[in-house]
Chains A and B, each alone.
Chain A
Amino acid sequence: MKLRLPSASALRDPRSWVIVGLVVVGLALVIWALLPSDSPVRKVVGTDTDEAPSAEEKVPDTPDKGPDEILVPSLKIKAPLIPIELETDGVLTPPADTDVVGWWDGSAEPGSGKGQTVVTGHTVSTGGGVMNELPKLDIGSVVQVRDEGKVYDYRTTGVFKLSKEEVADASQNLFGQQGGHGRLVLVTCTDYHDGEYDSNIIVWAEPIKGGGGRSDDA
């Protein structure tokens, strides 16, 4: 069998280029679809959750707003923080990148001393989400937030598991900005059944005296 190269006339035919275009785009889509979900290519290009808008879509116009990084040494969590917005239906969705944690831009910034700093990250049903280990956090564990070269230290005071209904009922207490006195609130999902998460893990961490905004290199 001999390999036949297309003739010059065939290359001038626009229908040939349509076919070539279809093949190229189709192959690209198939290859991309076959990449593992944790592939950097997949993570950069888009989301692996059905409804979660991409992180890029959620970044507000002021990129400097909000803290930069969260660390939970006891759980070996070290993740970038990016601002996320509250959707109109009251849903707060973490960044689509399951290695990135979202800071709700309607909540207090670290060190403000008022309100609550609300951050949330994904739990992935098969593991690997940035907040998968959050339910194992012990009372007293240290949580740190970096913001513009400063480190804010918090100590864990409560780890709660609440159903989605209970979260909705207590939403003002959990996320409201009228109380809290600078509390850090970490949120992720838990209780995975039949493709759905039935509950949230809520962690409360209070600012440590003297740990509010020390220099990053201290």
Chain B
Amino acid sequence: MKYHLVKVGALIGAATLVGLSISPAAAAPTAAQATANGLTLAIAGSPVSTGDVKATNDGSGEKVTGEKNPPISVLKNQDVLDIGVIAQDATAKIENKNGVSRACAGVAGDGATVADVGESNCLTPGDPVGVTIANLDLTGAVLINPESALGGLSALNPVLDQIVAPITAAITNALAPFKTTGLTGTLGAVQARCVANPSSAQGTANIADSKLQLDLAGNKIDLLEFPANPDPNTKVVTDLDQVLDTILDAVRVDLNNTLNGVLAPLGQVIQALQQTIVDTLIADIADQLAPLEENILDATLNKQSTSQGGKKVSVTALDLHLLPAAQKFGAPSLLDLSLASVSCGPNGRVQGPDNPDNPDNPDNPDGPNGPNGPNGPNGPGGPNVPTTVDAGANADNGLNEGALIAGLLMLGGAAGMIGYRRLLAR
């Protein structure tokens, strides 16, 4: 008996779990949806975001959550971006039973103004957005790996083994100035838009007057000059050879200075050895710096991805990762920036404006509420609800033609009778 009770209890529990797992599926399907985010920034793993605006519509009405024009204060105390205006908006409508969603997001400097979603632009540009990424610390992320940098020294004679420590320090010191290195630049209005219907989704991005520069120990290097209307998934190509050369030159000078002191007691004979050491170290460091060319800055303009068979699109106007290679060392990227991100779809159709699960839905033509059912317009009792609402009036030009014709006919008849009587009177 006890066994049966346990068995029944287990069955009830299982049925409850199954029911709970099924119940979300019974909710009304989302016919239209869109999301917009003006800015998401993570500095060394610490996120700052303007939040999302989400619009959904299941056929019973549009629901929109989130702040459309968040105050700049949401960006907190970060000094990376000097932004004046943030716009993020989304809509989800039912148009002719089709779910149609739109989203728009963008940022601009002071003086910019915000437009409605669905307009050609979210923002009209104002001042450029200032970009300043100070303390670009290259040393801890990708540049220094003393063991491998010094690996070539092991082939040298044991005397040189004694100077491993000073040389390691020299390299570290040589790169120390780069701690003050920074990324600076300006961004014009940056924005992304998308629109989706039940069959497709499209997105665009616009970036105006934007460029980035890298400061390396006082040397400014143009990194990027963004195109205004980039094609989807435009990877920014940077001329990082200049960056590499600048760093290596600095290291070479510092190594020579250091070795001059360390190797001075060995006299002129050591000159060739010094050159060998420097060249070896530079070659090794260059290998260490090689990933810099690929990994110091990973920027994608008009980053787009589609899913759900092309019915959903996600667009980010500017997707930027600074020192993504740091992740190889278990650290977060120095900076991850998603500027103006939107997504639209996937959307569907609704069975009329009402929820298709509504019992009133006349999907079944012979059902109680179907067109042929007892309550339907073709049912035995004829229509009991309006099937046509004739609420449109054709504006005439102010004339009532029927009345005008009748009046003119009467006047004509009267004139005829008068004339006839005069004729008889003669």
A187 touches B417 (CB 8 A): no
B383 touches A89 (CB 8 A): yes
Query: Is A158 on the interface with B (CB-CB < 8 A)?
Result: yes
B65 to nearest A CB, angstroms? 13
Query: CB-defined interface of A155-197 with B at 8 Å, one 1/0 digit per residue?
Result: 0011111111011111111111111000000011110100111
Query: Is A62 on the interface with B (CB-CB < 8 A)?
Result: no
Query: Is A25 on the interface with B (CB-CB < 8 A)?
Result: yes
Q: Chain B residues near A163: list those with CB within 8 A.
A: 96
Query: CB-defined interface of B353-366 with A at 8 Å, one 1/0 digit per residue?
Result: 11000111110000
A178 touches B417 (CB 8 A): no
B353 touches A202 (CB 8 A): yes
Q: Chain A residues near B375: list those with CB within 8 A.
A: 172, 176, 178
A52 to nearest B CB, angstroms? 7
Query: CB-defined interface of A108-138 with B at 8 Å, one 1/0 digit per residue?
Result: 0000000000101111111111010000000
Residue of A nearest to B355 (CB): A173
Query: CB-defined interface of A18-44 with B at 8 Å, one 1/0 digit per residue?
Result: 111011011111111111110000100
Complex CA distance for A162 and B391, rounded to whole angstroms: 13
B382 touches A170 (CB 8 A): no
Residue of B nearest to A32 (CB): B403
Interface residue from A22, A32, A162, A189 paired with B417 (Cβ < 8 Å): A22
Q: Chain A residues near B399: list those with CB within 8 A.
A: 33-34
B136 to nearest A CB, angstroms? 46
Query: Is B97 on the interface with A (CB-CB < 8 A)?
Result: yes
Query: CB-defined interface of B366-377 with A at 8 Å, one 1/0 digit per residue?
Result: 000111000111
B387 touches A200 (CB 8 A): no
B407 touches A27 (CB 8 A): yes
Interface residue from B361, B377, B384, B413 paired with A173 (Cβ < 8 Å): B361
Question: Contacting chain B: which of A75-83, A92-100, A144-152?
Answer: A92-100
B411 touches A92 (CB 8 A): no
A34 touches B393 (CB 8 A): no
B391 touches A120 (CB 8 A): yes
Q: Chain A residues near B392: list those with CB within 8 A.
A: 122-125, 188-190, 192, 196-197
- Residues facing A in B374-426 (CB within 8 A) are 375-377, 382-396, 398-404, 406-414, 417-418, 421
Residue of B nearest to A36 (CB): B398
Pick from B377, B394, B418 the residue with the most CB of A within 10 Å: B394
Complex CA distance for A214 and B21, rounded to whole angstroms: 43
Query: Is B61 on the interface with A (CB-CB < 8 A)?
Result: yes
B232 to nearest A CB, angstroms? 32
Query: Is A215 on the interface with B (CB-CB < 8 A)?
Result: no
Query: Is B95 on the interface with A (CB-CB < 8 A)?
Result: yes
Residue of A nearest to B400 (CB): A33
Given the contacts A15-B421, A22-B413, A168 and B390 also touching, CB distance less than 8 Å:
no
Query: Is A213 on the interface with B (CB-CB < 8 A)?
Result: no
B389 touches A189 (CB 8 A): yes
Interface residue from B93, B97, B382, B393 paired with A48 (Cβ < 8 Å): B393
Query: Is A204 on the interface with B (CB-CB < 8 A)?
Result: yes
Query: Is B60 on the interface with A (CB-CB < 8 A)?
Result: yes
Query: Is A211 on the interface with B (CB-CB < 8 A)?
Result: no
B414 touches A23 (CB 8 A): yes
Apart from A22-B414, A90-B387, A204-B353, what 4 extra A-B contacts exist at CB < 8 Å?
A: A22-B413, A92-B388, A175-B385, A187-B391
19 A-B residue pairings within 8 Å (CB atoms): A19-B421, A23-B411, A26-B406, A29-B406, A35-B398, A89-B383, A89-B388, A90-B382, A118-B386, A124-B392, A164-B388, A166-B97, A166-B352, A171-B385, A187-B389, A188-B392, A189-B390, A190-B392, A196-B392
